[in-house]
Amino acid sequence: MIPVAAGVWLARCECGATERFPEAEQGWAWVLSHPCPDEDTEQVIDLTGSNGCNCQS
């Protein structure tokens, strides 16, 4: 869950989909229930490795 502004949280699923919510709990619920299109696609790996960020979040 990434805070992007006051009262705005950016939720990002493992599949790369993102959605903004006013509360972190809503974002977590969305991630947990997100109908990922295909977990086996290589795009998942590309999204996590192409931005040059080493942060764990």
Binding residues for Zn ion, rule: CB under 5 A, are 13, 15, 17, 34, 36
Residue pair 8/22 in contact by the 8 Å Cβ criterion: yes
Closest CB to Zn ion among residues 7, 35: 35
Closest CB to Zn ion among residues 6, 39: 39
Tokens of 55: 């942060």
Quickly count: other Cβ atoms within 10 Å of residue 40's Cβ.
7
Closest CB to Zn ion among residues 17, 47: 17
Shortest distance (Å) from residue 6 CB to Zn ion: 26
What is the Cα–Cα distance from 43 to 32, expressed in whole angstroms? 19
